[in-house]
Amino acid sequence: KNLLQNMNHKCRCFCFIYFYFFADLLPASDGDIKTMTFLQEVVDILLAYIVESFDRETKVIDFHYPNELLQMNNWELQDEPATLDDILISCRATLKYAIKTAHPRYFNQLSTGLDMVGLAADWLTSTANTNMFTYEVAPVFVLLEYVTLKKMREIIGWSDGRGDGIFSPGGAISNMYAMLLARFKMFPEVKEKGMSSVPRLVAFTSEHVAFSCCHLPLLFLTSSSELNDVFLFCSGKLIPADLERRILEAKQKGFVPFFVSATAGTTVYGAFDPLIAISDICRKYNIWMHVDGAWGGSLLMSRRHRWKLDGVERANSVTWNPHKMMSVPLQCSALLVREEGLMQNCNQMHACYLFQQDKHYDLSYDTGDKALQCGRHVDIFKLWLMWRAKGTIGFEAQIDKCLELSEYLYNKIKDREGYEMVFDGKPQHTNVCFWYLPPGIRYMEDKEEKKKHLHKVAPVIKARMMEYGTTMVSYQPQGDKVNFFRMVISNPAATFEDIDFLIEEIERLGQDL
């Protein structure tokens, strides 16, 4: 006791926790103090990690190979409970080896950064621990989803924000909802009679569509061959004339075209399809037009850049992922639908144990019966609270800054020795795709030999980035193009100095290749 009195508060908490177990926390009787102490320790760990994540002197990743990481810590599950002190050690170890996705020099994925208000909202929703299927169990969250989806539809350009929508686990599921709605709209009998009741359907998208769309034929079509890739311009944009030609060819073969997925911000090139021309074709042939704006949809928030989505208001449905360019904590993806009531008619199953028809409030707020999921996480609160904190102008400034950084990178390397752009012209989004040619292969005359060596450059530099822990940026091949760097910027913490650092680091790590 005397020893504890002489320790500082943090050490007292540590020793206090040491002898306790999960069973001693709430709802255990007299568990309130133990619970508060334990959770405070967890919060201290999290706050220290947050501060460290924004420190440019720290590593983006403390990389270890899988076998090493398995051996360095005891990750196995045991029959006997661990102490709360052991649990805290596990929390620290988990964050020690986690990727610091908030780090200003983490550019590896489309979803980067960490917003403090969004984080607070995530903590709050986990504490509330409720489900989004009925107003009965999630009254405030259901209302916030209603007002936010309406606002997003207004921004798209649908009159008075009319229509429908839902938040889903990600862009893949939002795109799946869109295809499901398109099929139901054309053939409502499919809900009762199944795919055998409809003709052979065919869908169309671009060659650079997100990988999620490649899964959809497995659910909706007879085979993956019935998802037609439409040819692109060299910058990654869909060619409308080719789309129309393929629609006509499909009809001649006895297929029924029912769905076109245009892309607003392709995953690799960041290209925006010509939505107005695509819309004209869809209307001509009575085909559902979907816009996959998972990556580029957030540009609708920017007065400077929203022109890239001109024609989006003509779409039947739009996917928009605020967890990408808007930095809402994962996950937060919205499907917006122009026709009100269609989602309910398409997906409704009348589960009487959830959606009783004699409740004492407006049943239209029981949104679960228009979703495929039963259990649905509260994703809306993160976006809504951030929107309250930033306002629309705050999101606009954040997005514009990321576009400015990408333009800065493009301008610095497009004529710089040792760099070669993957396609001509300024990128439309924050995607900057380029090769770095080390001195050793820069002047090779044999084109095939040069190509063979260049293919190995980006993977080696990326591996060294991770081993040093200094930065992370993605790479990939595309068609006949060998591995190139695909730099994407969505992290609000990134600065011009971080872009300079990236260029210098690529050159440092690849100088000897």
Residues 406 and 372 in one domain: no
Tokens 């909802």 identify what position? 177
CB-CB neighbours of 237 under 10 Å: 19
Note the pLDDT of residue 3. Answer: 41
Note the pLDDT of residue 332. Answer: 97
Residues 271 and 414 in one domain: no
CB-CB neighbours of 468 under 10 Å: 15
Instruction: Using the predicted structure, report yes or no on whether residue 16 has a pLDDT greater than 70.
Output: no
What is the residue-averaged pLDDT of the chain?
A: 91
Domain CATH code at residue 214: 3.40.640.10
Cα four-point dihedral sign 447, 448, 453, 459: positive
Residue 400 included in any domain: yes
Tell which of 378, 401, 434 closes a domain. Answer: 378
Q: Are 382 and 118 in contact (CB under 8 A)?
A: yes
Residues 304 and 203 in one domain: yes
Residue 116 included in any domain: no
Residues 308 and 179 in one domain: yes
SS3 annotation, 183-238: HHHHCCCHHHHCHHHCCCEEEEEECCCCHHHHHCHHHHCCCHHHEEEECECCCCCE
CA atoms within 13 A on the CB side of 425: 11
Residues 320 and 345 in one domain: yes
CB-CB neighbours of 353 under 10 Å: 5
Residues 285 and 363 in one domain: yes
Instruction: Using the predicted structure, report yes or no on whether residue 224 has a pLDDT greater than 60.
Output: no
Note the pLDDT of residue 4. Answer: 41
Angle 380-413/116-128 helices, nearest 10 degrees?
150
Residues 312 and 230 in one domain: yes
For 129-183, write each residue's pLDDT tens digit. Answer: 999 999 999 999 999 999 999 999 999 999 999 999 999 999 999 999 999 999 9
Residue 106 included in any domain: no
Tell which of 317, 352, 378 closes a domain. Answer: 378
Tally of domains in the chain: 3
Tell which of 95, 122, 146 closes a domain. Answer: 95
- Sequence-ordered list of residues with C-beta below 8 angstroms from that of 211, at least 6 positions apart, any chain: 267
Domain CATH code at residue 434: 3.90.1150.170
Q: Are 261 and 171 in contact (CB under 8 A)?
A: no
What percent of the chain is predicted at pLDDT more than 90? Answer: 80
Note the pLDDT of residue 9. Answer: 47
Residue 123 included in any domain: no
Radius of gyration (C-alpha) of the chain in whole angstroms: 26
Residues 42 and 178 in one domain: no
- For 497, counting Cβ atoms within 10 Å of its Cβ (0-12 exposed, 13-18 middle, 19+ buried), the class is exposed
Strand order through the sheet with 164-168: 164-168, 333-337, 317-320, 288-293, 256-263, 201-206, 227-230
Residues 241 and 336 in one domain: yes
CA atoms within 13 A on the CB side of 445: 0
Read off the pTM. 0.92
Residues 243 and 307 in one domain: yes
- Sequence-ordered list of residues with C-beta below 8 angstroms from that of 32, at least 6 positions apart, any chain: 26
Distance (Å) of CA 73 to CA 14, 52, 62, 97, 284: 21, 22, 14, 11, 61
| Residue 71, domain extent | 2-95
Residues 88 and 141 in one domain: no
Residue 112 included in any domain: no
Residue 107 included in any domain: no
For 426-475, write each residue's pLDDT tens digit. Answer: 999 999 999 999 999 999 999 999 999 999 999 999 999 999 999 999 99
pLDDT confidence band for 491 (50 / 70 / 90): very high
Exposure string over 192-213, b if 16+ CB within 10 A, otherwise e: eeeeeeeeebbbbbbebbbebb
Residues 422 and 447 in one domain: yes
Note the pLDDT of residue 208. Answer: 60
Instruction: Using the predicted structure, report yes or no on whether residue 222 has a pLDDT greater than 70.
Output: no
Residue 120 included in any domain: no
Residue 362 included in any domain: yes
Q: Are 351 and 166 in contact (CB under 8 A)?
A: no
Instruction: Using the predicted structure, report yes or no on whether residue 1 has a pLDDT greater than 80.
Output: no
CA distance linking residue 489 with residue 476, whole number of Å:
16
For 55-100, write each residue's pLDDT tens digit. Answer: 999 999 999 999 999 998 889 999 999 999 999 999 999 999 999 9
